Amino acid sequence: DSDGDGLYDFWEVKNGTDPLRVDDDCDGLSDYWEVFHQLDPWAPDSDGDGLLDGEEFFHPPSYDSVCDTTPSSLWEGGWTVVYDYAGDTPLVTLVSADPAEPDSDGDTITDKLEKVYGYNPNVHSVLNVLSLDADAPNPYVRPGFTMAYTATVKNELDNRIAYGLLEAELPTDNVQNTQVIDTLMPQASADIQGDVTAPNVSQTQVMSLTIRAGA
């Protein structure tokens, strides 16, 4: 085993992996673990979900001199999720996804997005990043005058910081105001104020003020 990856040189040559490389595809997962999990040692993202195989599940370090600059003795891969709360204290555990399945739990949220939003890839989740409560105190405005609004945006994620944008439209599909939602901590809320200008129309009309938030 010239490269020390756990696979005999004879086996590697016979099966098409490099007996002098620990990690042929530089995905952070050694050839041994690729073979063990029936993955493609030459494909860094075997299931095509946007996560490297080595990012998907917790595994021993696999230093490869071609891929890595500094050896590490730390286990790698997987990510942390909040599974419950003890009062206000989040209880955290480490989870792994299946590197051979783009959506390990079949909830239509890819494993890549499960990691981005801090969800458990083995438990069905409903995508809920931001909640929005908006109000315009004065529902009537003269043509050409401004209407003020207040939007309360909450980060519904348990262990991810949210960044995003708030858009205000009047009438619908006419974006008048775009504001940054910056550094919203987990489960935190922020009040955002702004205003829009009513179109110059010649007669009274009913129009919709639309406010949307995205992260």
Three-state secondary structure along 27-93? Answer: CCCCHHHHHHCCCCCCCCCCCCCCCCHHHHCCECCCCCCCCCCCCCCCCECCEEEEEEEECCEEEEE
- The residue written with tokens 């519904």 in the block is 156
What pLDDT does residue 62 have? 79
Q: What is the average pLDDT across 74-102?
A: 94
pLDDT range class, residue 101, cuts 50, 70, 90: very high
Q: What is the pTM of this model?
A: 0.80
- CATH architecture, range 130-214: Sandwich (2.60)
Domain ranges of the chain: 79-117, 130-214
